[in-house]
Structure 1
Amino acid sequence: MSVSVAEYSCPICQSPLALTNSIYRCEQNHCFDLAKENYVNLLPVQFKHSKNPGDNKAMVNARRAFLEKSYYQPLIECLVAKYQEFGLATGKLLDAGCGEGYYTHQHKQENNQVYGVDIAKEAIKKAGKKYHDCHFSVGTLSKLSFADSFFDWIVSIYAPILEPEFTRVLAEQGYLITVTPGANHLAELKQQVYQQALPHDETRQPISELTLVDEWQLGYPMTLATGEDCLNLLSMTPFAFKASEQVKEWLAKQVEFTCQADFLIKLYQKN
């Protein structure tokens, strides 16, 4: 597959960055090293709200282990099919909040450019090391290091949806596709954690300026084969912090634990 040089803007002064000898440098002489793991850290210390923002190493490892078991394969197939349907396989795509890059690299085609951005350095290191045909950077979604109207397609999967910044970097007639939890997503797992497990709220509308083109629900039962898979899935959820040790011990002993996958997918266009 073709891999071009990544095109970034300086996170400090917004001028273009040029790559020379594994160093990205702007005209103001701000410099950012291309790491040996094939990523660049574009999150200056003054933009951080904590020392190590985002998911920690254990959470990143758990998510990768779970996703590589293909439990979410129907979601991947749905997203890639929609991307290919719109014929943008030679354009530029951003996975906003890409984590360890599992969804990112699924979108790589022969002649497109695929970028992944996440605030978690541990996740980006794993992404860059494994998926050499994509461009990965550490950064904040609230201030993306890209020029205006740079992307034809943006993917947001269980990540913060920041419409003003996404709209800025999205080209005219470009698309944003979002994945959020459906009402019954992981209901059986939630029932183990909470005494009263409420359905996910599907009424929130974080997008108001872009045009909603299509929306659909993707739901299916997942049967997790091992207790380790159950614990890895729990680690990917916001309610992991609420789970007691008793619940974790119970999940670790499970074989063929079935719970519902329920995804709400929306496609927007900038026009």
Structure 2
Amino acid sequence: MTPALAQALRCPVCGGPLLLVGRSLRCPKAHSFDLAKEGYANLLAIQKKHAADPGDGKEMVRARRAFLSAGYYAPLMKVLAELCAGLPHAHMVDAGCGEGSYDRYLQDALPEAQIVGFDLSKEAVRLAAKRVPEAAFCVGGSFSAPVRDGWADLLLNIFSPFAGTEFHRMLRPGGFLVYAVPTARHLYGLKQVLYATPYENEVKQTAYDGFAFVEEREAAASITLEGESVQ
């Protein structure tokens, strides 16, 4: 984590700005958070920690890493990178970043972007920090996000819970939100195998307070899975 990226973060205790001092993040009120050896910080407030080990577990995170590393979702990543390239993206926040596969792709496609990501899962953040050392990652949740007000030019929410109030707070005036959601037939082939009566996902237009709709773009591809990838 660089000093510049550390300045994008805020203290989970008092909400004050954080500075990188050695291997710790510190705020003006002397709250301190040590960096792990991989370079990430745990900024999940104790009162927001509703489980001993919140977020996705190690097995789920590592399975997702293996699946995404095989390139199956490259068509989605390509569309995301193209979309982000056409928007202001100097400061990007990935809310619910998972294990960092999307951020690795975006950092390679947009090397000038400064990326900050956070996720409830400590294991996911650990893997993300190792995969994208140029970025800054921390353990934290979308509904009490560890990013300071107005830092983000562009906020990504890829298949993660929508926290509109916090997203609006983190974005600068005029900033953009890229919200990735499943389409009607997302993973439909898998449903045909698993369910006696496969069904399409509900698709509806939703208005989000504080946000104005700009455009919708679809990423579509057919993939064939074999062996462990099926699991």
Q: TM-score range by the shorter chain?
A: over 0.9
Computed over aligned residues only, the root mean square deviation of the Cα atoms, in angstroms, reads 1.6
Alignment of 1:47-126 (within 5 A): 47-86=48-87, 88-89=88-89, 91-108=90-107, 109-126=110-127
The code of the aligned residue for 2:180 comes to: V
**Structure 1 3/188 Cα, relative in aligned 2: closer, same or farther at 3 Å?**
farther
Give the unaligned 5+ runs of structure 2: none
* Structure 1 runs, 4 residues or longer, greater than 4 Å off: none
Secondary structure at the aligned position of 1:19 is classed as strand
The code of the aligned residue for 1:92 comes to: H
Write the deviation string for residues 8-57 of structure 1: whole angstroms up to 9, x where unpaired: 11011001111111011112211111110110000132211111111100
* TM-score, with structure 1 as normaliser: 0.80
Write the deviation string for residues 148-168 of structure 1: whole angstroms up to 9, x where unpaired: 111000111100011111011
C-alpha contact 1:163 1:206 (8 A) present in aligned 2:
no
Secondary structure at the aligned position of 2:64 is classed as helix
Alignment of 1:67-216 (within 5 A): 67-86=68-87, 88-89=88-89, 91-108=90-107, 109-203=110-204, 205=206, 207-216=208-217
Report the counterpart of residue 24 of structure 2 in structure 1.
23
Structure with greater proportional strand content? 1
CA distance in 1, matches of 2:4, 2:29: 24
TM-fit CA distance, 1:130: 2.1
> How many pairs does the alignment contain?
227
Give the unaligned 5+ runs of structure 1: 232-271
- Identical aligned pairs, as a percentage? 37
* TM-score, with structure 2 as normaliser: 0.93
The code of the aligned residue for 2:97 comes to: C
C-alpha contact 1:115 1:134 (8 A) present in aligned 2:
yes
Report the counterpart of residue 9 of structure 1 in structure 2.
10
CA distance in 2, matches of 1:5, 1:160: 24
